[in-house]
Structure 1
């Protein structure tokens, strides 16, 4: 069976799983141990108070991270500076809790099972989830132009062409996965490599053992490994249309109770971004600490300030989002088709 067929089969099973979960309101049995830990943490936070009170007063937000306690961007900055929660009190929200997830598929599962109200994650898993029937609405694009670094094992391939006949790892359903798929397609290598599922947390060890020849790493980890001497043979930023975007989605259930949330959230985010641009060094200190004491040079390479758009949606961002959706549709990796405009909150 070809690599393309294997990948398509994997994501089709993922989509079917998400749809089943949506119908049954239960988590799928294939959730990773990390995902279960994340979901347990969310559930635990909701049982500390009256369940009804938790649902109406606590805003539960998931984001993607392997190390960070807060999202690296205006949202995390606003919470750290103490401006996020007070600005939401007029809506009846008295607390905001952020929960880290290692990947988009597990965050989708938490949204489906009503363990999260919002998600901040990559465009690829958000699109896959929406196409599978996940009841979310798009309220902004958090990042536009997310880079990915294709890192190889030491003394391994020195070019993309040399990946022919090798095994490449990837966290499937993530924006680096979309980048890798697009790169292999552009180079005519889709059927000539073996792409296997490996979590980002296990990827470095897999490279060191020689289990895989390459792996596309996301922001933070990619530059860190390059600094440690791992070769990088390609980057998403060098290919038009292959950089990722980040999105914020809200469940339709929450939106029905807080219809003003998207507008208020984006106002808070815009003010936080203005503060960040006025104090960039302070922001990078925060980002380094939140990332687990990552060196400043790595943080600055991973999170350039121009990564964060000042408006909820920009022409460039929407073009990239539509391009990613079209690619996934062309590869038959979306359960159904939909119009981005119908997913967006108008005038958020």
Structure 2
């Protein structure tokens, strides 16, 4: 359906990249997109110069993001600020996980992406020309849930299959946990996207899954035992980051500053109106409000572009990925992060 303000498109073919084989995942079906624009259809020239293509992660294939930027969009405070930079519209495209969003970045299909730090770091280490401009969530939890009548501890996963989305922040958590427990070589980790992993757990096809925000608390509420969480380990929680391509940044050098001003205002508004935010998040994500609250504590939304704790977690994740050869090369975070102008 198409109107003057909204365009929905389906993508039936996977995007291909030159990422390492670890990230060349199976085709995951269609994602969807929405365009937030001024009235009227833009010309092709306008699309090339004034459209921001924003990639987001959505298990439910939502057409707008959640988090502070999603709240700013919902409140009508996002596009008007970007228009001051000459950006006339924002097109959002949803993906089931981070590696798929990476493929779109490599293929030149996106300008900005909001997703987990693990795939973002892997992409940068593999040469994808992005710059880090912000963190949306710091301290993102992951849940290790077992099948009913199955394992009740991490050590009981020996000789078992555990599913997660390879290349995601949950995968980084799972491997780190198995290493800490000394059983990383005794557990078979299989790649399944969140919806497929949930179905496999419910059927009993896998002993456990490492689940993301939303999915973890939802399965817990259905009686699936939680045998571990990322937040129990200081170095294993993730963060949600916002990256921009170097090509788009060259055209809009003031975007990082403006983006973080929008985010900061949105976080302050969320803190002042938490119940309204949680209702919005639940409507967009399809998760019950209690699940959203368990997945996205408002204290994890930083007002700063990149807080000290966020930088610490980024550094730890990068070191892990490089040491495990899941990232092709090391790099300095300071070379990746866009410096913010002092007011």
TM, length-normalised to structure 2: 0.89
**Comparing both chains, which one has the higher relative contact order based on Cα–Cα distances under 8 Å and sequence gaps of 6 or more?**
1
Matched residues in 2 for 1:202 and 1:325: separation?
A: 28
Partner in structure 1 of residue 301 of structure 2: 308
Partner in structure 2 of residue 33 of structure 1: 28
C-alpha contact 1:16 1:132 (8 A) present in aligned 2: no
* Map 1:100-139 → 2, pairs under 5 A: 100-139=94-133
Partner in structure 2 of residue 25 of structure 1: none
SS at the partner of 1:129? helix
- Once the two structures are superposed, residues 106-148 of structure 1 have per-residue CA deviations (whole angstroms, 9 ceiling, x without a partner) of 1011111111110000010000000111000000111110001
Cα drift, residue 42 of structure 1: 7.9
Cα drift, residue 73 of structure 1: 0.8
Matched residues in 1 for 2:24 and 2:123: separation?
A: 17
Partner in structure 2 of residue 184 of structure 1: 178
SS at the partner of 1:33? coil
Aligned match for 2:74, one of 67, 80, 87 = 80
Aligned match for 2:51, one of 48, 55, 58 = 58
Matched residues in 2 for 1:141 and 1:205: separation?
A: 31
Q: Would you identify which runs of 4 or more consecutive aligned residues in structure 1 move more than 6 Å?
A: none
Q: Which moved more, 1:110-119 or 1:182-191?
A: 110-119
* Residue 151 of structure 1 pairs with residue 141 of structure 2: no
C-alpha contact 1:169 1:214 (8 A) present in aligned 2: yes
- Once the two structures are superposed, residues 212-251 of structure 1 have per-residue CA deviations (whole angstroms, 9 ceiling, x without a partner) of 1000111111000000111110000001100001110000
- Once the two structures are superposed, residues 70-119 of structure 1 have per-residue CA deviations (whole angstroms, 9 ceiling, x without a partner) of 22211001111101000111111111222211011110111111111100
* Map 1:157-196 → 2, pairs under 5 A: 157-196=151-190
1 or 2, which has the higher helix percentage?
A: 1
C-alpha contact 1:158 1:233 (8 A) present in aligned 2: yes
* Residue 286 of structure 1 pairs with residue 280 of structure 2: yes
Aligned match for 2:267, one of 261, 266, 273 = 273
Partner in structure 1 of residue 12 of structure 2: none
SS at the partner of 2:293? helix
* Residue 17 of structure 1 pairs with residue 18 of structure 2: yes
Cα drift, residue 171 of structure 1: 0.5
Matched residues in 1 for 2:217 and 2:83: separation?
A: 39
Matched residues in 2 for 1:284 and 1:97: separation?
A: 24
SS at the partner of 2:19? helix
* Residue 324 of structure 1 pairs with residue 317 of structure 2: yes
Cα drift, residue 52 of structure 1: 2.7
Gaps of 5+ in 2: 1-15
* Map 1:250-265 → 2, pairs under 5 A: 250-265=244-259
Change (3 A) 1:209 1:80: same
When the two chains are superposed, the root-mean-square deviation of aligned CA atoms in Å is: 2.1
* Residue 343 of structure 1 pairs with residue 336 of structure 2: yes
* Map 1:157-236 → 2, pairs under 5 A: 157-236=151-230
C-alpha contact 2:34 2:64 (8 A) present in aligned 1: no
Change (3 A) 1:31 1:162: closer
C-alpha contact 2:145 2:210 (8 A) present in aligned 1: yes
Matched residues in 2 for 1:91 and 1:312: separation?
A: 19
SS at the partner of 1:159? coil
Matched residues in 2 for 1:72 and 1:277: separation?
A: 15
Matched residues in 1 for 2:79 and 2:45: separation?
A: 19
Change (3 A) 1:52 1:29: farther
C-alpha contact 2:197 2:209 (8 A) present in aligned 1: yes
SS at the partner of 1:311? coil
Partner in structure 2 of residue 9 of structure 1: none
- Once the two structures are superposed, residues 237-277 of structure 1 have per-residue CA deviations (whole angstroms, 9 ceiling, x without a partner) of 00110000111000001001000001001101111111111
C-alpha contact 2:17 2:106 (8 A) present in aligned 1: no
